[in-house]
């Protein structure tokens, strides 16, 4: 569980305090929100002295930023790399993330911090942009006439489902998925609605097109 934090070399840099702090952050920020979670409580949960926490992170803001950065790799991307699915199926699969994401932490952070200049808000924007780009890319593979529009639309659906789930306390992703299905079918010319890939993008470059 607690892996050595820094070096792939033999030299160990610590005994997992940083990991415990970030792990506790994820739990507490998700369950209680950022503002309602004090550093004291966080350190208690992380079983770390306050002093140690402030030796790892210059301040709470930095911790929050790092906490958000942690999500980057493992929320969405898994969906986009599934070569067993057609591009169209991949787009739809993006809406099957029900229980794992209570509320998109990026939205929560942006609202809670309430400061567009905050580094965490920057991360949030970057992430949202990246997701939209991925969707656009996949939409292009799927043969959408206006991939950018479709990508942006699908991104909006995800955020809408996220926000609505939070406010209403009831799952909204199925609704979003239904909309997505309609949009996708409408955006892809009838000729290529079923056949994946067809002439262009013969999956040779679609595996990892960029980044």
Binding of residue 23 to its own copies (CB under 8 A): no
Q: Which does 60 bind (CB under 5 to 8 A by kind): DNA, its own copies, none?
A: DNA
Cα separation, 104 vs 139, whole angstroms: 22
Q: Which does 152 bind (CB under 5 to 8 A by kind): DNA, its own copies, none?
A: its own copies
Are residues 119 and 67 in contact, defined by beta-carbon separation less than 8 angstroms? no
Cβ proximity to DNA: between 29 and 106 the closer is: 29
- Interface with its own copies in residues 66-95 (CB under 8 A): none
Binding of residue 116 to its own copies (CB under 8 A): yes
Dihedral (CA of 109, 114, 120, 121) sign = positive
The residues of the shown chain that bind its own copies, judged by CB under 8 A, are 32-33, 35-36, 103, 106-108, 110-112, 114, 116, 124-125, 128-129, 149, 152-153, 155-164, 166-169, 172, 175-176, 178-179, 182-183, 186
């Amino acid at each position: 569980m607690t892996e050595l934090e820094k070096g792939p070399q033999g030299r160990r840099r610590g005994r997992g305090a940083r990991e415990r702090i970030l792990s506790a952050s994820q739990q507490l920020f998700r369950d209680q929100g950022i503002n309602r979670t004090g550093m004291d409580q966080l350190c208690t949960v992380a079983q770390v002295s306050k002093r140690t926490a402030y030796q790892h992170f210059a301040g709470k803001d930095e911790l929050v930023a790092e906490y958000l950065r942690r999500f980057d790799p493992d929320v969405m991307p898994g969906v986009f790399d599934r070569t067993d699915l057609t591009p169209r199926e991949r787009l739809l699969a993006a809406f099957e993330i029900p229980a794992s994401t209570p509320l998109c932490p990026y939205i929560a952070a942006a609202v809670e911090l309430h400061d567009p200049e905050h580094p965490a808000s920057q991360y949030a924007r970057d992430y949202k942009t990246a997701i939209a780009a991925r969707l656009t890319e996949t939409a292009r593979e799927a043969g959408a006439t206006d991939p950018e529009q479709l990508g942006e639309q699908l991104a909006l659906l995800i955020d809408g489902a996220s926000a609505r789930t939070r406010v209403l306390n009831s799952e909204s992703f199925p609704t979003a998925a239904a909309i997505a299905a309609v949009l996708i079918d409408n955006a892809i010319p009838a000729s290529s609605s079923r056949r994946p890939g067809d002439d262009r993008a013969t999956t040779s470059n679609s595996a990892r097109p960029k980044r």
